[in-house]
C-alpha cells in the first residue's frame, strides 16, 4: 500500500494553487485552543501522519515541514519517514522556529492561509506582523485542509452531565457571582470564555468530547448584569439539566450561533476576552462598535487554587490511585517472576484494570506511557500493537499514567527495576531523584513563580553535565485537564509571564533524563502549594506531596543520596505506608511493606 501522506499533501498543494496561496499553516488546534482535540479538528495529524499532541505543519509549493518539540523528535522521525515532510526541531539552537522560517520564505504579494478557527487572536496578530514586514498577507477565511478532507469526522455527540455538588464543592451560582465581581472591577459588561476546562469548571458540568479530558464543546458568554449563555449542542443536555441551568441564570443556545450573538453587541457593551484563549474567527464576529478589553479569564486563576473541599477529595483519590498502582505493580512483578511473557501493552491493561476497580473512577487522564529500556527515552512514547517491547528480567521500565475520578485527577511516573540494573542506570535514576527531592522540599517566598524554582530540580543533573528538554511541572485540573494553567515549573522564557505560585495550586514535579537508544528516567509526584511560615521577611510557601505510591529503590544508588535526601525518601515512604496499608491486604500489603521499608 502506498504511503497516503504524499497524496494528501499534493491535494493540499492543488488547493493552494487554486486559491492563490503560497503557504498553508496547519496548527494543532481547535476553536477552543485545546491541547487534545476532537477528531474533527485533527487536520494536522491527518495531513502529516504524525500523532503527537504538539506540532505545526507548514506547506509551501516546494517544502513541507513539521515543527515539534524534543518530547517528540524520535516519534516524529519515525512517523514522517517516507512522507516527504521534514522534521523541524523546535527550541533547538540555530534551528528556525516555524514563523521565522515562514517570514524568510515569503515575498511581496504572497498569501499565507490558516484556518481562522485554529489560531488565537494573539498568534494571528503575531503572524500578520511578521508577514507585513515582507509585504505578504494572511488569510484566515480559508480552511484548506477542511476543503480537501473527504471523510472529516463529525463533531462529538457525547452527553453533558452535572458534576455532583458533593464533589464540585462550590455551587455554580457562587462561582458566577465571584466571576461577575471580577468583571465589574474591569468595567466589562460581557465576558467570552472559549476554553473548555474554564467552562466545565464554572458550570459544574462535565462531558467526554475530548479523549481523557472530561470536557465538552461549548462557548460561554457571561453578562455582568444578567444571564449567561452556554453555546452547546442542546441534544447533549437532558431537560432536567437545562432546567437546573436556567435556575442559575444560564440559557442554552446552539453551538453554531455564537457569532450571531456576538454580532449584536453594540456601543454600550464592553467585552472582556483573553486574546490567547479565543480564536480569530470568533473575535471577527463581534459587533464593530462594541468596546473590547483584553485580559486573562478570571476563572483560570480561580480554578487553579483548589478549595479545601476539592483538596480533601483529591487526597482520598490519591489513596485510591496509590492502591491501584500497588496492586498493578505487584501483579506485574509476580507475572514476570513466574516466567509469563509481559509487554508494555500488558502494563497499560493492568493499570486500567486496577484503576477501574476503584470507587468513582471515570477514565484515564492521558494515554499511559509504559516504556521499557530504550522506549523509556521517548518522553511521550506510546506502545502500539504494531510496535512495542517485551519486558525482560533486567533494566528499567518507565510508567507514566493517570486517572480521572469524580474527586480529582492524578498523574504519576515511576521507574521500576525489573531485575539487575547497571551502575549507569542507578546513578541516572538517583540524580533525577535528587532533583525531585530538592524541589519537593523547597521553601519559597510569596510571589515566587515556577520558572524561579525550576533550576532546583535540574541542579544535580547540571552538576554532571546533563539536562532534560521538557518542563519540570505543570498545573493539574480537578477532575479536569491533566495539564492546566496558568502556573507551571519550567525554565524562564524571554517575555514569558511569571505566574506566582499560590496556596491551593497543584503542580506536577517531574524531572527526567533521557539517553536515546538506552533508557529514560522520570520521577513524578503531584504536590500542592501550602503556607509554610511567616517571618520578618514575609510569607513563605512550601509543597505538600499528594501522590501516594512507593518509588522502586532497587533502581536507585542510595550512597549518592545525602542524609537529608535519605530522610525525605524514608519519610515519604512512611507516609505512603500509613495511607495505603489500611486499604490493602495479603500479597498487596506485603508488597507495600517491602517497598516502603526505610533505606
Predicted pLDDT at 307: 97
The residue among 283, 304, 325 that closes a domain is 304
Average pLDDT over residues 450-459: 98
Q: What is the pLDDT of residues 196-246, one digit of tens each?
A: 999 999 999 999 999 999 999 999 999 999 899 999 999 999 999 999 999
Q: Is there a contact between 63 and 105 (Cβ–Cβ < 8 Å)?
A: yes
Q: Where a domain ends, among 253, 277, 304?
A: 304
Q: Residue 2: what pLDDT?
A: 61
In-domain check, residue 188: yes
Residue that terminates a domain, selected from 280, 304, 328: 304
- CATH number of residue 547's parent domain: 3.90.230.10
pLDDT value at position 73?
87
Total domains in the chain come to 3
Average pLDDT, the chain: 96
Share of the chain above pLDDT 70, in %: 100
The answer to the question of residue 153 being in a domain is: no
CA 595, CA 575: separation in Å to the nearest integer?
A: 12
Residue 1 reports pLDDT greater than 80:
no
Instruction: Give the residue carrying C-alpha cell 529500556.
Output: 373
Cell, residue 112 = 499565507
- The CATH number of the domain holding residue 240 is 3.40.350.10
pTM of the model: 0.95
CA distance 139 to 284: 13
Is there a domain that residue 369 lies in?
yes
Averaged over 557-563, what is the pLDDT? Answer: 97
Q: Is 283 in a helix, a strand, or coil?
A: helix
Confidence category of residue 145, pLDDT binned at 50, 70, 90: very high
Interatomic CA distance for residues 596 and 576, integer angstroms = 7
Residue 55: the pLDDT is 95
Residues 316-325, mean pLDDT to the nearest whole number: 98
Distance CA 465, CA 462 (A): 5
156 inside domain: no
Q: Are residues 439 and 582 in the same domain?
A: yes
590: which 3 cell numbers? 506485603
- Residue 386 pLDDT > 90: no
* Contact in structure between 418 and 329 (CB atoms under 8 Å): no
Considering the domain architecture, whether residues 248 and 338 belong to the same structural domain is answered as: no
Half-sphere exposure of 90 (CA within 13 A, CB side): 17
Which cell numbers in the block locate residue 208? 467526554
* Same domain membership, residue 535 and residue 424: yes
In a domain, 215, yes or no: yes
Q: Which residues pair with 414 in a beta bridge?
A: 399
Residues 402-450 have pLDDT tens digits of 999 999 999 999 999 999 999 999 999 999 999 999 999 999 999 999 9
Please give the Cα distance from 385 to 327 (Å, whole number).
24
Edge-to-edge strands of the sheet including 361-364? 361-364, 403-405, 408-409
**In 10 A of CB 459, how many CB atoms?**
15
Work out the pLDDT band at 380, boundaries 50, 70, 90: confident
H/E element holding 112?
Answer: strand 111-113
pLDDT band at 598 (very low <50, low <70, confident <90, very high): very high
Mean pLDDT of 370-377: 95
96 domain-assigned:
yes
Least confident range from 7-11, 76-80, 133-137, 220-224: namely: 76-80
- Do 11 and 27 fall into the same domain? yes
Shared-domain flag, residues 224 and 289: yes
Q: Are residues 347 and 486 in the same domain?
A: yes
192, 128: one domain? no
- Mean pLDDT score, 41-45: 96
User: Which residues is 137 bridged to in the sheet?
Assistant: 111
- Cell 476576552 identifies what position? 273
Higher pLDDT, 379 or 431: 431
Same-domain check for residues 313 and 399: yes
Residue 569 is predicted with a pLDDT of 98
At 389, is the pLDDT very low, low, confident or very high (cuts 50, 70, 90)? Answer: very high
- Above pLDDT 90, what percent of the chain? 93
Domain region containing 166:
161-304
* pLDDT above 80 for 152: yes
Residue 304: pLDDT band (50, 70, 90) is: very high
**Could you tell me if 428 and 537 lie in one domain?**
yes
Do both 317 and 298 map to the same domain? no
Range 142-169 average pLDDT: 96
Question: Residues 335-358: pLDDT tens digits?
Answer: 999 999 999 999 999 999 999 999
Comparing CA positions, the residue from 277, 163, 281, 262 lying closest to residue 222 is 262
Evaluate if residue 299 carries a pLDDT over 70: yes
User: Are both 328 and 454 inside the same structural domain?
Assistant: yes
539 shares a domain with 416: yes
Q: What is the pLDDT of residue 462?
A: 98
Amino acid at each position: 500500500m502506498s504511503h497516503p501522506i504524499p497524496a494528501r499533501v499534493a491535494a493540499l498543494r492543488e488547493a493552494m494553487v487554486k486559491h492563490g496561496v503560497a503557504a498553508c499553516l496547519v496548527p494543532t488546534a481547535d476553536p477552543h485552543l485545546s491541547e487534545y482535540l476532537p477528531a474533527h479538528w485533527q487536520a494536522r495529524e491527518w495531513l502529516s501522519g504524525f500523532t503527537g499532541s504538539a506540532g505545526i505543519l507548514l506547506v509551501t509549493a516546494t517544502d513541507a515541514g513539521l515543527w515539534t518539540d524534543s518530547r517528540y523528535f524520535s516519534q516524529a522521525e519515525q512517523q514522517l519517514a517516507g512522507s516527504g515532510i521534514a522534521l523541524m526541531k523546535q527550541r533547538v539552537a540555530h534551528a528556525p522556529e516555524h514563523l521565522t522560517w515562514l517570514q524568510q520564505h515569503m515575498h511581496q504579494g504572497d498569501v499565507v492561509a490558516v484556518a481562522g478557527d485554529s489560531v488565537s487572536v494573539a498568534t494571528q496578530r503575531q503572524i500578520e506582523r511578521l508577514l507585513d514586514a515582507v509585504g505578504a498577507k494572511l488569510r484566515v477565511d480559508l480552511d484548506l485542509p477542511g476543503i480537501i478532507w473527504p471523510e472529516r469526522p463529525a463533531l462529538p455527540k457525547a452527553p453533558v452531565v452535572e458534576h455532583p455538588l458533593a464533589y464540585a464543592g462550590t455551587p455554580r451560582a457562587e462561582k458566577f457571582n465571584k466571576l461577575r465581581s471580577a468583571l465589574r472591577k474591569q468595567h466589562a459588561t460581557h465576558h467570552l470564555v472559549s476554553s473548555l476546562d474554564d467552562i466545565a469548571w464554572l458550570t459544574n458540568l462535565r462531558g467526554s468530547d475530548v479523549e481523557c479530558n472530561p470536557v465538552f464543546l461549548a462557548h460561554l458568554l457571561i453578562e455582568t448584569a444578567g444571564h449567561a449563555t452556554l453555546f452547546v449542542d442542546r441534544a447533549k443536555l437532558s431537560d432536567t439539566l437545562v432546567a437546573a441551568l436556567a435556575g442559575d441564570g444560564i440559557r442554552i443556545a446552539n453551538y453554531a450561533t455564537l457569532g450571531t450573538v456576538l454580532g449584536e453587541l453594540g456601543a454600550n457593551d464592553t467585552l472582556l476576552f483573553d486574546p490567547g484563549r479565543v480564536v480569530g474567527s470568533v473575535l471577527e464576529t463581534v459587533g464593530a462598535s462594541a468596546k473590547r478589553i483584553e485580559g486573562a479569564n478570571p476563572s483560570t486563576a480561580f480554578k487553579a487554587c483548589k478549595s479545601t473541599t476539592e483538596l480533601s477529595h483529591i487526597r482520598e483519590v490519591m489513596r485510591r490511585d496509590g492502591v491501584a498502582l500497588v496492586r498493578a505493580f505487584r501483579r506485574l512483578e509476580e507475572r514476570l517472576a513466574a516466567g509469563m511473557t509481559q509487554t508494555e501493552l500488558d502494563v497499560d491493561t493492568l493499570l486500567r484494570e486496577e484503576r477501574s476497580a476503584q470507587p468513582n473512577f471515570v477514565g484515564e487522564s492521558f494515554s499511559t506511557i509504559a516504556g521499557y529500556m530504550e522506549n523509556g527515552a521517548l518522553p511521550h512514547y506510546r506502545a502500539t500493537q504494531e510496535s512495542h517491547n517485551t519486558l525482560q528480567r533486567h533494566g528499567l521500565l518507565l510508567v507514566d499514567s493517570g486517572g480521572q475520578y469524580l474527586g480529582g485527577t492524578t498523574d504519576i511516573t515511576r521507574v521500576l527495576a525489573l531485575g539487575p540494573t547497571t551502575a549507569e542506570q542507578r546513578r541516572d535514576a538517583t540524580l533525577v531523584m535528587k532533583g525531585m527531592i530538592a524541589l519537593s522540599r523547597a521553601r519559597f517566598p510569596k510571589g515566587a513563580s515556577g520558572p524561579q524554582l525550576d533550576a532546583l530540580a535540574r541542579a544535580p543533573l547540571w552538576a554532571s553535565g546533563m539536562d532534560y528538554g521538557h518542563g519540570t511541572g505543570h498545573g493539574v485540573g480537578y477532575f479536569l485537564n491533566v495539564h492546566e494553567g496558568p502556573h507551571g515549573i519550567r525554565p524562564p522564557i524571554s517575555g514569558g509571564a511569571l505566574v506566582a505560585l499560590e496556596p491551593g495550586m497543584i503542580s506536577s514535579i517531574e524531572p527526567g533524563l533521557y539517553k536515546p537508544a538506552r533508557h529514560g528516567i522520570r520521577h513524578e509526584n503531584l504536590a500542592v502549594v501550602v503556607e509554610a511560615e511567616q517571618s520578618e521577611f514575609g510569607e513563605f510557601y512550601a509543597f505538600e506531596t499528594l501522590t501516594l505510591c512507593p518509588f522502586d529503590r532497587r533502581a536507585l544508588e542510595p550512597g549518592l543520596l545525602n542524609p537529608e535526601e535519605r530522610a525525605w525518601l524514608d519519610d515519604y515512604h512512611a507516609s505512603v505506608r500509613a495511607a495505603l496499608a489500611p486499604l490493602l491486604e495479603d500479597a498487596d500489603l506485603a508488597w507495600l511493606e517491602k517497598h516502603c521499608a526505610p533505606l
